[in-house]
Amino acid sequence: MAYWQPDEVIIIGDFMDYPQPSTWSKATAEEFKGSVFDDSEIGKRVLADMRVGYSGPIKFIEGNHDARPKIYLAKYAPALAESKAFNVENLLDFDSFGITLAEPFCEFAPGWVATHGHLGIQLSNSPGRTALGAAKRIGKSVVMGHTHRLAKLPDTIGRAGEFNTLWGMEVGHVMDMRPGSVPRYLKGGFANWQSGFGIAYVNGNNVYPQTVEIDDDGTFVFEGEVHDAYGRRLSV
């Protein structure tokens, strides 16, 4: 970001995993391994890296994995939940990084909404179709995460010389999928996930969505240049 300054960054959710308080870990040894505070320190280091060379606005949409600690506390220790100490905005110290906790459905441009995708949205197994289905339901173009898939799909309705196009864009994931790093709940199986991220170029009322695929070796092409897994340009 030091050389390319976006107007705004939206973290689409599931920035953190927090496996200890997940349903996958309940009543297993995994529930008691590690610490959400130790995990949060790793997350804060990533946020600090994002702030190197970029001081613009960052919005954070809470995903279902980000919410695991507060949900766990509310369920099993409700008397302690009022402290909000286990809310993601406090675990990651948003105030120190100048990060804003966004609404679950965050309108970032005219007719365009960003959301994590776990709240009231019917899931599809086909990349892009979950977001497009949500867009057709709410009547606005939707950018979302949650599915870990990377795709953008349009739907155009025209009548009497007028037309309107809605877009659904799913922005993939940036998880480490190498052997030994794959999430335990996949049980070693294959997931229909694609690595990547999304960009929206906004010009007034016009929005141009772009998906950026990250290859298996961590490289990707952005605006005609190859970058490595750390975002460093490999070609000019």
Determine the average pLDDT of the residues in 134-163.
92
Instruction: Give the tokens for residue 227.
Output: 């970058």
With beta carbons less than 8 A apart as the criterion, state whether 169 and 128 touch: yes
pLDDT band at residue 199 using 50, 70 and 90 as cut-offs: very high
Distance of CA 222 to the CA centre of its chain: 19
pLDDT at res. 1: 52
Domain ranges of the chain: 1-102, 105-236
Ranking 33-37, 120-124, 158-162 by mean pLDDT, the lowest is: 158-162
Determine the average pLDDT of the residues in 112-117.
98
Instruction: Give the tokens for residue 133.
Output: 């289905």
pTM: 0.90
Question: Percent of the chain at pLDDT above 70?
Answer: 91
* Identity of the highest mean pLDDT range in 4-8, 138-142, 216-220, 227-231: 138-142
Q: Is 180 exposed, middle or buried (0-12, 13-18, 19+ CB in 10 A)?
A: exposed
- Report, in angstroms and rounded to the nearest whole number, the Rg of the chain calculated over CA atoms: 19
Residue 150, sorted as left (phi over 0), alpha (psi -120 to 50) or beta, turns out to be beta
pLDDT band at residue 105 using 50, 70 and 90 as cut-offs: very high
Distance CA 205, CA 150 (A): 24
With beta carbons less than 8 A apart as the criterion, state whether 110 and 117 touch: no
The owner of tokens 């795709």 is 151
The owner of tokens 């019917």 is 122
